[in-house]
């Protein structure tokens, strides 16, 4: 896991190098959880552009790309480790209203939903698997997303109660879905590729030359993949 100073650095870098289509730290943390819990491996070459949005050109050199991507990948790996059996120690990174102390969970939930959007058919297969707890967890996560986006059809009283419970409910939803994934990727209909199935960090970052193979595993050169910008 990144330490507090590194999390602050990543937060500042995301704030500096992303736009409205990119992510800030809490949303990225939820995005990582969604990627890790998804039964199908999604390589960084596919999901990194979601983090930057359309402003990745603000990273002017390969060194800039590497420095920011290193923190991004280390945080992703940290989330993966936290969800790796048998010792799982996962906790979401929420924003906080410094004036009131209110926990702002909405951004995290939006990040998780963005990860779900990358493989909607896979998540649908979980709903249709017959596991009521896993299906209910997905439906609850989507209900929280709709609430965060102001699209909920719940009554005001129910929406208020759900919003108050959300910070405590979300970790349980993640762990339930993670347990479902881990129990089926080795013998079920999904390949044993989920990032958190690996005991070590899924992706290691080292200094990469422009013409070297991209460490995300895409098979392309770094300059044509994660270092394209």
> Measured between alpha carbons, how far is 38 from 126 in angstroms, rounded to an integer?
10
> Measured between alpha carbons, how far is 4 from 10 in angstroms, rounded to an integer?
10
Across 100-120, average pLDDT = 96
111-169 pLDDT, tens per residue?
Answer: 999 999 999 999 999 999 889 999 999 999 999 999 999 999 999 999 999 999 999 99
How high is the pLDDT of residue 198? 46
How high is the pLDDT of residue 84? 87
pLDDT band at 194 (very low <50, low <70, confident <90, very high): very low
Q: Is the pLDDT of residue 65 over 70?
A: no
Q: What percent of the chain has pLDDT over 90?
A: 52
Whole-prediction pTM: 0.81
Give residue 110's Cα distance to chain centre: 10
Higher pLDDT, 138 or 188: 138
Helix axes 44-52, 106-118, angle to 10 degrees: 140
pLDDT band at 192 (very low <50, low <70, confident <90, very high): very low
DSSP labels, 102-165? -EE-HHHHHHHHHHHHHSHHHHHHHHTTS-HHHHHHHHHHHHHHHHHTT---S-HHHHHHHHHH
């Amino acid at each position: 896991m990144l330490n507090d100073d590194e999390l602050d650095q990543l937060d500042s870098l995301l704030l500096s190098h992303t736009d409205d289509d990119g992510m800030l730290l809490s949303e990225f943390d939820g995005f990582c959880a969604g990627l890790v819990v998804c039964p199908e491996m999604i390589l960084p070459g596919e999901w990194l552009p979601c983090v930057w949005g359309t402003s990745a050109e603000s990273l002017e050199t390969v060194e800039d790309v590497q420095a920011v991507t290193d923190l991004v990948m280390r945080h992703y790996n940290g989330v993966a480790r936290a969800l790796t059996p048998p010792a799982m120690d996962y906790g979401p990174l929420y924003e906080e209203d410094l004036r009131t102390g209110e926990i702002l969970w909405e951004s995290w939930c939006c990040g998780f939903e963005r990860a779900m959007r990358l493989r909607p058919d896979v998540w649908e297969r979980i709903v249709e698997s017959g596991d009521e707890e896993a299906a209910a967890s997905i439906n609850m996560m989507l209900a929280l997303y709709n609430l965060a986006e102001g699209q909920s059809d719940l009554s005001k009283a129910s929406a208020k109660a759900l919003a108050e419970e959300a910070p405590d409910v979300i970790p349980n939803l993640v762990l339930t879905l993670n347990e479902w994934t881990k129990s089926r990727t080795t013998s079920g209909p999904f390949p044993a590729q989920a990032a958190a199935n690996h005991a070590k960090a899924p992706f290691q970052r080292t200094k990469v030359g422009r013409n070297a193979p991209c460490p995300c595993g895409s098979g392309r050169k770094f300059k044509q993949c994660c270092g394209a910008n």
